[in-house]
Amino acid sequence: MSDDSVPFALPLSSCPAASSEATTLYRELRKPLLRYLICLGLSNDEAQDVVQDVFLTLQRHLASGGSQENIRGWVYRVAHNQARNRQTSYERRFAAPLEAAIDSASEEATPEHTLLEKEKFRLLEQAIRLLRDTERECLLLRAGGLRYREIGEVLGISTSTVADTVERAIKKLAEKCNV
């Protein structure tokens, strides 16, 4: 399946605007959403399932005339809640070492560089483990390009709390990773 293909039917002849809006959002958000879900601890298959569900929900939401305000935050919130419902995967993520991520780091680089990069990732992962769930989620959403306001919407916290949480988390990581 190519990244741009839309795997769900869009039987919205009565509402072509909603259909095209859902398709546009799918193309734009599918990849960052997948990355977020995988980083939350879902397997590739689970993440693909969730993304599929989320966009079907979005399609219904738009077709029924739901609000299009902060739609990116809306999409991430639905995805986040679905990931939360798969609690086992969610907890698995930072419970076991993630050698795969570390191993796949910059394999095209020189051995010395790779070693250095792996060491950085190892330190970072240790530091990420020590973060609180909210801190980790804030950073993951921030890495996906979401604004503080959107992050607050996804996690159900205020924008100022997001600012404080992101700042605290980044400081912790910077200190632990010594970068």
Partner 1 sequence: MCDLSAKLVAWLDQELPGSEANDVARHIESCAECKRKLDSYRRVSSLFKAYCESTEEAATGRKLPPWIRTLSYTAAAVAVVVAALVLVLLRLPVEPLPPQAMAPTAPSIAPASDSNRAVAAAASAPVRPSLPTKVRHLRATAPMRYPDADFLPAEPGIQVAIPAEAMFPPGAMPAGVTFTADFSVASDGSVQRLRLQPRLVELQRRSTQP
Binding site for partner 1 (CB under 8 A): 34-35, 38-39, 43-44, 47, 98, 100-105, 107, 120-121, 124-125, 128, 139-140, 142-144, 147-148, 163, 166-167, 170-171, 173-174, 177, 179
Provide the minimum distance between the beta carbon of 14 and partner 1 in the complex, in angstroms, as a whole number.
Answer: 36
Instruction: Tell me the closest approach of the beta carbon of residue 153 to partner 1, in angstroms.
Output: 14
Check if the beta carbon of residue 38 is closer than 8 Å to that of residue 46. Answer: no
Q: How far is the CB of 58 from partner 1 (least distance, A)?
A: 21
Nearer to partner 1 by Cβ, of 33 and 63: the residue is: 33
Report the nearest approach of partner 1 to the CB of residue 148 (Å): 5
- For partner 1, the closer CB: 13 or 178: 178
Which runs of consecutive H residues, i.e. helices, occur in the chain?
16-40, 44-63, 71-85, 87-92, 99-103, 111-130, 133-143, 148-155, 159-177
